[in-house]
């Protein structure tokens, strides 16, 4: 039985509801099979694969190309870049698994994943236009250049930092989403606690211990001195210690 666009969209919503505990998997399967005519096995695969994508784990049953594209698109829209990164990881691992079985290739799905990888990278870049490829960030109103190294601009390290600490400034607690709504969701800079002069070749960043989320204003202020101010020093200056 052909899986229609309407089935794919309904299965995605059902998978979300199961994932968040709003409905049991069996009830979701009953709805998809009885009300939308979807094969129960395929519906089960879509529900399982959604959870695997959200958690960044390999899935072994294949979504078709349309479903792969739709799930990746909607996960970015509904959950942001962190979950899209997980979903892309899961999809890549699935393709490697499937092709490793010798059943053929999934070039079409690889192309879809690659497109979403580029979308993730372009969204990261467009969200942070002040973080330049030459590793210099110029904050408006400040004459000196603030150096932002590649670890701070690394989207994976940045995402893990924000997953742990949240997208609020650790200095002043500014939350872009609370102030600006959806357009500010997930927007924040990250600050490297290790001085750049101390970083040597082969250094591997620890997103939890080495990075902190900070708003652009506080990021600029941290770098107003050399070596940079500590988070606690800037909190004292800004009376943000409570």
Residue 142 has pLDDT above 60, yes or no: no
| Beta strands in the chain, from DSSP E residues, in sequence order | 136-137, 146-147, 189-192, 211-214
As a dihedral over the C-alpha atoms of residue 228, residue 241, residue 175, residue 71, rounded to 10 degrees, the angle is: 80
For residues 109 and 224, what is the distance between their CA atoms, to the nearest angstrom? 47
DSSP-derived letter for residue 62 is: P
Q: Residues 51-73: what's their mean pLDDT?
A: 95
Residue boundaries of the structural domains of the chain: 5-127, 136-237
pLDDT level of residue 140 (50, 70, 90 thresholds):
very low
Flag whether pLDDT at 120 surpasses 90: no
Residue 132 has pLDDT above 50, yes or no: no
| 80: pLDDT strictly greater than 90 | no
Q: Indicate the Cα dihedral angle 32, 5, 66, 186, nearest 10°.
A: -80
The angle formed by the CA atoms of residues 31, 33 and 34, to the nearest 5 degrees, is 70
| Structural tokens at position 188 | 């924040």
Out of 7-16, 92-101, 132-141, least confident range: 132-141
pLDDT of residue 128: 45
| Whole-angstrom distance, CA of residue 58 vs CA of residue 117 | 17
pLDDT digit string, tens, across residues 166-188: 999 999 999 999 999 988 888 89
| φ, ψ at 176 (rounded to 5°) | -60, -35
Residue 198 pLDDT: 56
106 token code pair: 């999934």
Q: pTM, whole model, 2 decimals? A: 0.56
Q: Is the pLDDT of residue 205 over 90?
A: no
Residues 6+ apart with CB under 8 A from 84: 72, 75, 76, 116, 120
Picking from 177, 92, 88, 55, the residue whose alpha carbon sits closest to that of residue 127 is: 177
Decide: helix, strand or coil at residue 197: helix
Could you give the count of Cα atoms lying within 13 Å of 146 in the half-sphere of its Cβ? 26
């Amino acid at each position: 039985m052909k899986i229609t666009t309407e089935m794919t969209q309904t299965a995605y919503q059902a998978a979300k509801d199961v994932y968040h505990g709003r409905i049991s998997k069996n009830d979701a399967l009953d709805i998809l099979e009885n009300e939308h005519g979807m094969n129960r096995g395929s519906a089960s695969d879509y529900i399982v694969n959604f959870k695997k994508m959200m958690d960044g784990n390999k899935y072994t049953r294949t979504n078709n190309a349309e479903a792969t594209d739709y799930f990746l698109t909607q996960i970015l829209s509904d959950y942001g870049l962190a979950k899209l990164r997980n979903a892309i990881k899961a999809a890549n691992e699935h393709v490697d698994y499937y092709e490793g079985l010798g059943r053929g290739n999934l070039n079409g799905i690889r192309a879809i994943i690659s497109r979403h990888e580029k979308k993730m990278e372009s969204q990261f870049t467009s969200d942070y236009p002040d973080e330049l490829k030459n590793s210099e960030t110029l904050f408006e109103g400040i004459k000196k250049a603030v150096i932002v190294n590649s670890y701070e601009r690394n989207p994976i390290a940045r995402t893990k930092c924000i997953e742990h600490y949240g997208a609020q400034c650790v200095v002043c607690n500014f939350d872009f989403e609370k102030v600006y709504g959806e357009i500010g969701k997930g927007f924040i800079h990250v600050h490297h606690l290790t001085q750049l002069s101390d970083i040597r070749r082969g250094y591997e960043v620890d997103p939890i211990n080495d990075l902190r989320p900070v708003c652009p204003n506080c990021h600029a202020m941290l770098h107003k001195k050399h070596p940079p101010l500590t988070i606690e020093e800037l909190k004292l200056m800004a009376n943000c210690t409570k």
